[in-house]
Amino acid sequence: MYSSKISGLGMYVPENVVTNDDLSKVMDTNDEWIQERTGIKERRHIKKGDGNSTAVMGVKAAKVALERSGIHKDNIDLIVFATLSPDYYFPGCGVQVQELLEMPNVPAIDVRNQCSGFVYALSIADQYIKTGMYTNVLVVGSENHSGGLDMTTRGRSVSVIFGDGAGAAIVSRSNDDSAILSTHMHSEGKHAKELALIGPSTGHWVPEIIAESDTATDDHITYYPYMNGQFVFKNAVTRFAEVIMEGLKANSMTPDDIDMLIPHQANLRIAQFIQKKFKLSNDRVFNNIQKYGNTTAASIPIALTEAWEQGKIQKGDKVVLAAFGSGFTWASAVINW
Ligand code: ACO
């Protein structure tokens, strides 16, 4: 059995910065409410005509990760792409990355596990490398949230949270102690509708939405994301803690062994709750939601990349990734860097 390690990291965010004050010009919200409840100061939004899309941003992040890994794109055996905001209903963004990066006939898997998407994708890459089937896997998490948010007061409890961006990792066969030690994944579909975008879908197709939109009340806008915020929050703090402990126990570790926790950037209050629960000092948890908002499948690779760029992750460190989101799904990865 082989082991896998992260051999390169990259990220990309659109240039267009949207502050809380900018949002307060288009909906009834304010900087104080957003910062107090979520910790977010600003986020990035794709600007119409800037050439970005979920796949394009993923490619930009992937190019940086490839460059840093020193691995040529011709040596990538598999692409795994995680997003909830693909460019097309089908096919998924993985094949667009294959085409845009000019990687002839390389297989591409699309992962649809929202905020847990990157950790799920990492787990897939890890398994293919462990079995010896593949040597290098490109894992991408990318989101174009701004393309599908309700930017009016009706959508404010969701729209102020999310931002656009992409992160990528090259996962490679390891020849030393550096390794993804474990990944753990879970789901609980009974809560699917607590955080969801229902249509357009085969169960709720376009003509139905058009017919409905003539008579829709505020509660019936199915083509914008819906989130039962407080219910999601309560589940998140429980599941984050559980899945982190599950990963630590599987490796005979305790919270004291964590050198760096990279939580999915859902809400600064959730990350702070987990930090307190595990008694982690500020230098052992990385947050950048303040700058980017919640970028869903991109949030962990963006945070991981920035933590690494800032020298906060060193060889031999025990790094824990943890995510929770729509599905519900939740997951963790324990890495010996
Ligand atoms: N600006 C001003 N006021 C607002 C806004 C806003 N943007 N949004 C909501 N409000 C108002 C509400 O209308 C409500 O007013 P009322 O008391 O008069 O009815 C009040 O503020 C409180 O609203 P709540 O929804 O109860 O606020 P809460 O403290 O729960 O914060 C939040 C909302 C930030 C969404 C929080 O619940 C949360 O972070 N939940 C978890 C999010 C999460 O982790 N998601 C998972 C990942 S996402 C994914 O997987 C795609």
Domains of the chain: residue spans and CATH: 4-176 (3.40.47.10), 180-336 (3.40.47.10)
E strand or H helix at 90: none
pLDDT of 204: 87
Q: Tell me the CA–centroid distance for residue 157 and ligand 1, in Å.
A: 5
How do the residues of the chain divide into helix, strand and coil, expressed in percent and rounded to 5? 40, 25, 35
60-113 pLDDT, tens digit per residue, is 999 999 999 999 999 999 999 999 999 999 999 999 999 999 999 999 999 999
> Closest Cα to atom 14, ligand 1: which residue?
157
pLDDT of 216: 61
pLDDT of 209: 84
Ligand 1 pocket mutation pick from 23, 157, 234 by most atoms within 8 angstroms of CB:
157
pLDDT of 217: 60
pLDDT of 218: 60
235-271 pLDDT, tens digit per residue, is 999 999 999 999 999 999 999 999 999 999 999 999 9
**End-to-end alpha-carbon separation of the chain, Å?**
19
pLDDT band of 130, cuts 50, 70, 90: very high
What is the percentage of the chain residues whose pLDDT exceeds 70? 98
20 lines ligand 1 (CB under 6 A): no
Any bridge partners for residue 9, and if so which?
A: 169
Q: Is residue 210 pLDDT above 90, yes or no? A: no
Report, as residue numbers or ranges, the catalytic residues: 115, 264, 294
37 lines ligand 1 (CB under 6 A): yes
pLDDT band of 219, cuts 50, 70, 90: low
Ligand 1 pocket mutation pick from 24, 36, 144, 233 by most atoms within 8 angstroms of CB:
233
Overall pTM > 0.75: yes
Q: Tell me the CA–centroid distance for residue 16 and ligand 1, in Å.
A: 24
CB 86 within 8 A of CB 92: yes
Strands (E), 275-325: 318-325
CB 298 within 8 A of CB 142: yes
Strands (E), 40-107: 42-44, 78-82
22-51 pLDDT, tens digit per residue, is 999 999 999 999 999 999 999 999 999 999
3 lines ligand 1 (CB under 6 A): no
Q: Is residue 7 pLDDT above 70, yes or no? A: yes
159-188 pLDDT, tens digit per residue, is 999 999 999 999 999 999 999 999 999 999
CB 329 within 8 A of CB 114: yes
Mean pLDDT over each residue of the chain, to the nearest integer? 96
Amino acid identity of residue 284, one-letter, is: R
Q: How far apart are CA 95 and CA 100, in angstroms?
A: 9
Q: How far apart are CA 150 and CA 224, in angstroms?
A: 6
Q: How far apart are CA 266 and CA 275, in angstroms?
A: 14
Q: Tell me the CA–centroid distance for residue 162 and ligand 1, in Å.
A: 12
